[in-house]
Amino acid sequence: MQIADSNPRELVERYVFGANTMNYRKTKHAKSIAFIHHRGEFDSVPSLMGSVKLLSQAGYATDLIFIADPAFAPPCFDEESVHLVALPSLRRLPLPESVRRILEALILFLGVFWRSGTRRYSWLVGIDPVGLIISGICATIFRLRYCYISLEILFSGEIKSGYLKTLKRLERYYNQRCAFTIIQDRVRADLLAKENGVPHESILLLPNSPLGEVNPQHSRYLRERLDIPDDQKVVLHVGTLSKWTCTPQLLDVSRSWPATLKLVLHSRERGSEIGFDLADHPRLQISEGPVSSQDLPELIASADIGLVLYCIDEQHFMHRDNILYVGLSSGKMAEYLRCGVPVVVSAFPGMCDLMEEYHCGVCIAEMDEMADAIHTILADWANYSRGALRCFDEVFHFERHFAAVLSKLQHYS
């Protein structure tokens, strides 16, 4: 890693706060902005990657300040105006989950506080509750503007611990005082407005979708990488492999699939332990992950069908209503549709309406319906693929939605 123009301040950032400032350049920009995130998953969230790139094109110098979770691939940008400030994760230490979260939030706060005091940011952008709260505190101290990107909705009725209740109260407080909020669709906007007591007119809609136009070119990435013959159709399950993405049920029902189908699991996390019985599975292959956001479209485009599956997990506070109303926050759905890959989706609010309107996939209420859904799509694959491309262009096209964000930023300039 090369760091240009190292000076004492940068050395303090690196060794006192444990930050890696990558691609650092002494460029002068009239506008600067910092994204603040308590997780290191930038590269697997397409809307974050697209926002950073479009802001760079608009003349913003952009810092990404985040906890560098070793499970995720670090984000990679060609733009010299983008700087990564990667702070250390405590994931590998034997700490209780709540203690680790609090300590990492403190590390993140110290990193943002230091950068805010030494760089003249035009905006702080807080991502999810922890990022928002830190942005709000630092913006108050240094008299900066800040806004909120909500990727996951924290519902007050679903949390019990004192830590989470305090987090929710602080989220509400700083959300009500930020310049504006960004969320993925109208349903989620209504839910967040009710939860946090913010006016609807202060919320902008930005789907969690990748930058760029539709990409109808099919690839052979998975077939060549995993030696899958042409007479087998690739059914791809990409992203987090867990109970809340229905992975155990999927593995169970896929055992009885015909030999013409191949299920491929691809995790977005490095060294992910799937934790399910994969022994002697006749229809399964594993694609080791993660891949970079630049390479992901080629992987996605090599699938014949993409799976967008979610299951309610009553034991986890983020896997109930936040999952039930996933809507346009599903990055994997946008990635599939952009490449013209038809999808099988869980029958959650709004999802089935999208499938029916654009003829881009099939909705299922039970996992036992999976085989019939796959058969339905394969019987009319070309039309489903065209519907997927049309759905992406009309619903998920990122640049068109992001124009409202740029307009809002310029309004305050």
- pLDDT averaged over the chain? 88
Bin 157: left if φ > 0, else alpha if -120 < ψ < 50, else beta: alpha
Q: What percent of the chain has pLDDT over 90?
A: 69
Q: Rounded distance, CA 194 to CA 188, Å? A: 10
Please check whether residues 170 and 240 belong to one and the same domain. no
* More confident of the two residues 271 and 309: 309
Q: What is the dihedral of CA 236, 286, 86, 4, to 10 degrees?
A: -100
In a domain, 324, yes or no: yes
- Residue-number span of the structural domain to which 300 is assigned: 221-396
DSSP assignment string, 75-92: P--S-TTEEEEEEEP-TT
Whether the per-residue pLDDT at 252 is higher than 80: the answer is yes
* More confident of the two residues 73 and 208: 208
Whether the per-residue pLDDT at 1 is higher than 50: the answer is no
pLDDT at 113: 97
Please check whether residues 185 and 229 belong to one and the same domain. no
What's the DSSP call for residue 232?
A: S
Please check whether residues 391 and 404 belong to one and the same domain. no
In a domain, 307, yes or no: yes
Of the listed ranges 9-18, 166-175, 188-197, 204-213, the one predicted with least confidence: 9-18
In a domain, 361, yes or no: yes
Question: How many domains does the chain divide into?
Answer: 2
Span 45-72, average pLDDT: 93
In a domain, 374, yes or no: yes
Q: Beta-carbon neighbour count of residue 144 at 10 Å?
A: 17
Please check whether residues 190 and 292 belong to one and the same domain. no
Whether the per-residue pLDDT at 21 is higher than 60: the answer is no
Binning pLDDT at 50, 70 and 90, where does residue 277 land? low
> Over the stretch 326-380, which tens digit does the pLDDT of each residue have?
999 999 999 999 999 999 999 998 899 999 999 999 999 999 999 999 999 999 9
In a domain, 215, yes or no: no
In a domain, 175, yes or no: yes
Binning pLDDT at 50, 70 and 90, where does residue 306 land? very high
Whether the per-residue pLDDT at 188 is higher than 90: the answer is yes
Please check whether residues 313 and 338 belong to one and the same domain. yes
Binning pLDDT at 50, 70 and 90, where does residue 320 land? confident
Whether the per-residue pLDDT at 165 is higher than 50: the answer is yes
Please check whether residues 298 and 187 belong to one and the same domain. no
Please check whether residues 172 and 246 belong to one and the same domain. no
Tokens representing residue 193 in the block = 């407005």
CATH number at residue 151: 3.40.50.2000
* More confident of the two residues 39 and 49: 49
Whether the per-residue pLDDT at 107 is higher than 90: the answer is yes
* More confident of the two residues 61 and 243: 61
Whether the per-residue pLDDT at 20 is higher than 50: the answer is no
In a domain, 1, yes or no: no
Binning pLDDT at 50, 70 and 90, where does residue 135 land? very high
Please check whether residues 48 and 28 belong to one and the same domain. yes
Q: Spell out the alpha helix ranges (H) of 359-394.
A: 370-379, 381-391
Binning pLDDT at 50, 70 and 90, where does residue 141 land? very high
Of the listed ranges 182-186, 221-225, 230-234, 292-296, the one predicted with least confidence: 292-296
In a domain, 282, yes or no: yes
Q: Which residues contact 23 (CB under 8 A, 6 or more apart)?
A: 77, 80, 82, 83, 84
Please check whether residues 367 and 402 belong to one and the same domain. no
Backbone angles phi, psi at 61, to 5 degrees: -85, 125
Whether the per-residue pLDDT at 5 is higher than 60: the answer is no
- Positive/negative CA dihedral, 247, 101, 194, 125: negative
Please check whether residues 237 and 164 belong to one and the same domain. no
pLDDT at 73: 77
Whole-model pTM? Answer: 0.89
CA distances from 402 to 60, 98, 394 (A): 15, 35, 14
Span 164-172, average pLDDT: 95
pLDDT at 16: 38
